[in-house]
Amino acid sequence: MKHNLSAEKVSRLLSRENGKPVLKPNRPLILKDSVGNRKPRKGEASCVTEMSLLMACWKQNNFVDSLCSNEINTFYTCVHKAERQKLLSGELIENCIYTQTSFFQLIKSLRP
Amino acid sequence: MAASISGLLKPWTPRVLLVRWSRYNPYYLEPEVRKEAYSRPESELSAEEKEERELKKLRPIKAATNSTTSSLFNDPVVSKFINMMMKHGEKTLAREIMMQTLENIKRKQVEKYHKATDGQKEGIECNPYAVFHQALENCKPVVALASIQKGGKYYQVPIPVTGNRQRFLAMKWMITECRDNKHRRTHMYEKLSQELLAAFANEGNVIRKKHELHKMAEANRAYAHYRWW
């Protein structure tokens, strides 16, 4: 709606000359070129098959970890891959604004 | 990677430097404490590492905490454990207890070593730091339960747990078990060394707690699809 009002009206709403200003914007009053998400799409659980294999192994071996080390390793690799995919999928990158430092930190965390 | 926040993070150094506070302006970078990182020659660095070095020349760096050192004996896991044991900010006492624990572990292992036959001697680990790390590794849970709401009810859903959370749980269980479930007249270092040696051999109450968590997760494996991440 703001782009319909002229610049003088906007500056009048923001000015402090007539008592308190009507508007107190915490972001610049500029229209974006896209609409925001009202409901982020829910994904599905990752690594369920690996988890079920791991639990079957545990059930067989009475929860001794040393005998299930292969399943545990595959589970961990799956979890790390899923985490990295979540970061790279761009979901976060679209929604968050990254600074230079956090960009380097993201790169470091993604390094294998 | 300029963005709207970087407009606020101008190269601003306050007149009074915030050294003791934990809340730094995100513009500040982490300090590099390890000696090896500085002794590498220019040729060995890749392009991004060179870029990082250039960046570090221009940005302000946070002050390193009191407990970090660049010595050979600096162990981040041991430091974290000491911090978790510490009460009312008494770091010297917590550190003393940890050192006594490690000494106690060493004594017990060396005693076992000397009493063992030649065939068994190689299997006995005498390095207390190795024993500590292996014991913590054995205590780390692989899956944990999370309370997730679905259709008005809360379900205990098994979720994968990695990295810092695992380490935190292992240390927390170790410390609470030693504080609560042991005889009150034994010293903390004695209780800790007993529990750590038991965990090293995959026995004891902390390992039992981990197994119980795994069993509960296994019992609730049907709800694993309630996760959305």
Tens-digit pLDDT profile for residues A70-85: 999 999 999 999 988 8
Q: Which two tokens stand for residue A49?
A: 């098959």
CB contact under 8 A, B26 and A102: yes
The pTM (predicted TM-score) of the whole model is 0.75
Q: Does A26 touch chain B (CB under 8 A)?
A: no
In a domain, A19, yes or no: no
State the CATH architecture for B82-139+163-213.
Orthogonal Bundle (1.10)
In a domain, A63, yes or no: yes
Which amino acid is present at B221?
R
Contact B131, B105 (CB under 8 A): yes
Interface size, chain A vs chain B, as Cβ–Cβ contacts under 8 Å? 74
Q: Does A52 touch chain B (CB under 8 A)?
A: yes
Answer yes or no: is pLDDT of B15 > 70: no
Tens-digit pLDDT profile for residues B169-200: 999 999 999 999 999 899 999 999 999 999 99
In a domain, A95, yes or no: yes
In a domain, A14, yes or no: no
Closest by CA position to B210, among listed A74, A15, A72: A72
Q: Does A68 touch chain B (CB under 8 A)?
A: no
CB contact under 8 A, A45 and B9: no
CB contact under 8 A, A97 and B226: no
Closest Cβ opposite residue A45 in set B202, B211, B227: B227
Q: Which two tokens stand for residue A70?
A: 């292969």
Domain count, chain A: 1
Which amino acid is present at B93?
L
Range of the domain at A53: 48-110
Closest Cβ opposite residue A59 in set B3, B218, B224: B218
In a domain, A10, yes or no: no
3-state secondary structure at position B104: helix
Tens-digit pLDDT profile for residues B88-143: 999 999 999 999 999 999 999 999 999 999 888 888 999 999 999 999 999 999 99
Polymer length of chain A: 112
Contact B185, B114 (CB under 8 A): no
CA of A93 vs chain B CAs: smallest distance (Å): 12
Q: Which two tokens stand for residue A68?
A: 């299930």
Q: Does A25 touch chain B (CB under 8 A)?
A: no
